């Protein structure tokens, strides 16, 4: 049977109608207190024809919040606000997983509760800035997590995942790239610890592996995806030897039959990312970053990917699956409305039949 973007696929316990995935994309449409909104529910439901919808990054604890008007699942009220979102996708026969994103040192006090410490593997200030209610601000020096505090962070992730599954999400995706907390533990520039969570490759990978094990215990391995970016440098993320780090990590997570590995393909990495992962991993592979219909179909037919996720194309084209299927022209993305809030550029892109 020929496989392409429109053929069904099984990713762990996730049965997808097609291989087109809506990528996770921060859009700053939540309330300041981290509640999912009605327009978020409409936004995701509009795009439910994707084989799988991945939410924007959702903070698992108040300490994990980094950005302006991003959603959380750190308490019961925030969890309840997601009910209308996941139900809207399911009513359109879609599947939806929640991406858990702890920002770690990529945070600013103006974007969250000011009395919460900004934490990271090590007390190293990132060379980056963040948008706040008062404009762009340079990031601050974080506090290094104590060894005794790491289990608390893992427990917070587990509780968040349990809450997401309880309200009907089909699975969880762990955000482990783009310079956020799990990636901060992996990278040599942000992790300079001297305990059992830093130093060697094995120790720098320990937090991520313990976190995966904990999440598997909550949602099951077949409903957990992992997002990685080998050589990704976003948010002052740098590892001296990403090939060595991810070779160890990918081999170790083969012990957990995860639903998928969601990989960014564009990074500061000399190797062929899809081939590198395929040679090391026993998991289904989802690729992301810069694909169009033709290149995505080629990746699937060549065996480099089991699915492909699309970001900006899904923003501007709620019916992207139908447009690709019928070779219908795509709407043009309005960059100015990506993060400005409100309905414009969020739920008002026209459909084919409009």
**For each of the chain's 354 residues, which pLDDT tens digit applies?**
579 999 999 999 999 999 999 999 999 999 999 999 999 999 999 999 999 999 999 999 999 999 999 999 999 999 999 999 999 999 999 999 999 999 999 999 999 988 899 999 999 999 999 999 899 999 999 999 999 999 999 999 999 999 999 999 999 999 999 999 999 999 999 999 999 999 999 999 999 999 999 999 999 999 999 999 999 999 999 999 999 999 999 999 999 999 999 999 988 888 899 999 999 999 999 999 999 999 999 999 999 999 999 999 999 999 999 999 999 999 999 999 999 899 999 999 999 987
Instruction: Identify the active-site residue in 44, 180, 346, 349.
Output: 180
The answer to the question of residue 353 being in a domain is no
The answer to the question of residue 223 being in a domain is yes
> How many secondary structure helices (H) and strands (E) does the chain include?
11, 14
How many CB atoms lie under 10 A from the CB of residue 138? Answer: 11
What range does the domain containing 19 cover? 9-337
As for how many domains the chain has, the answer is 1
The answer to the question of residue 304 being in a domain is yes
The answer to the question of residue 352 being in a domain is no
The answer to the question of residue 348 being in a domain is no
pLDDT tens profile 272-312: 999 999 999 999 999 999 999 999 999 999 999 999 999 99
CA distances, 122 to each of 147, 157, 181, 199 (Å): 11, 20, 11, 12
- Kindly report the length of the chain: 354
The answer to the question of residue 191 being in a domain is yes
Could you give the angle at the alpha carbon of 100 between the alpha carbons of 170 and 109, nearest 5°? Answer: 150
How many CB atoms lie under 10 A from the CB of residue 108? Answer: 24
Contact assessment for residue 339 and residue 315, using Cβ atoms and an 8 Å cutoff: no
Residues 4 and 12: their CA atoms lie apart, in Å, by 19
**DSSP 8-class letter at 329:** P
- pTM attached to this predicted model: 0.97
pLDDT tens profile 310-341: 999 999 999 999 999 999 999 999 999 999 89
The answer to the question of residue 1 being in a domain is no
The answer to the question of residue 350 being in a domain is no
Q: Is 59 a catalytic site residue?
A: no
**Domain CATH for 166:** 3.20.20.70
* Burial of 289 per CB tally in 10 Å (0-12, 13-18, 19+): middle
């Amino acid at each position: 049977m020929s496989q392409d973007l429109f053929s069904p696929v099984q990713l762990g316990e996730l049965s997808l109608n097609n291989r087109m995935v809506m990528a996770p994309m921060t859009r700053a449409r939540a309330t300041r207190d981290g509640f999912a909104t009605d327009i978020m529910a409409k936004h995701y439901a509009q795009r439910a024809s994707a084989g799988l919808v991945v939410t924007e990054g959702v903070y698992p604890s108040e300490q994990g919040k980094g950005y302006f008007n991003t959603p959380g699942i750190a308490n019961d009220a925030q969890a309840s606000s997601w009910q209308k979102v996941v139900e809207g996708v399911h009513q359109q026969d879609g599947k939806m997983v929640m991406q858990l994103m702890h920002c770690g040192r990529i945070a600013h006090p103006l974007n969250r509760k000011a009395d919460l410490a900004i934490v990271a593997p090590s007390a190293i200030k990132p060379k980056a800035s963040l948008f706040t209610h008062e404009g762009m601000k340079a990031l601050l020096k974080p506090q290094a997590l104590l060894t005794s505090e790491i289990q608390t962070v893992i427990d917070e992730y587990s509780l968040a995942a349990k809450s997401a599954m309880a309200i009907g999400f089909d699975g969880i995706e762990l955000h482990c790239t783009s310079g956020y907390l799990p990636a901060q533990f992996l990278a040599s520039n942000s992790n300079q610890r001297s305990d059992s969570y830093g130093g060697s490759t094995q120790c720098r990978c320990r937090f991520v592996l313990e976190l995966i094990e904990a999440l598997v215990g909550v949602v099951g391995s077949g409903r957990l995806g992992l997002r990685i970016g080998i050589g990704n440098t976003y948010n002052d993320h740098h590892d001296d030897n990403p090939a060595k780090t991810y070779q160890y990590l990918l081999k170790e997570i083969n012990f957990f039959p995860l639903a998928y590995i969601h990989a960014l393909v564009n990074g500061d990495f000399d190797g062929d990312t899809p081939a590198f992962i395929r040679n090391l991993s026993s998991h289904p592979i989802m690729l992301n970053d810069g694909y169009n219909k033709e290149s995505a179909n080629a990746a699937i037919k060549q065996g480099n990917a089991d699915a492909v996720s699309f970001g900006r194309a899904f923003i501007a084209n709620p019916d992207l699956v139908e447009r690709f299927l019928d070779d219908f022209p795509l709407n043009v993305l309005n960059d100015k409305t990506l993060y400005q809030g409100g309905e414009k550029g969020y739920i008002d892109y026209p459909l084919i039949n409009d």
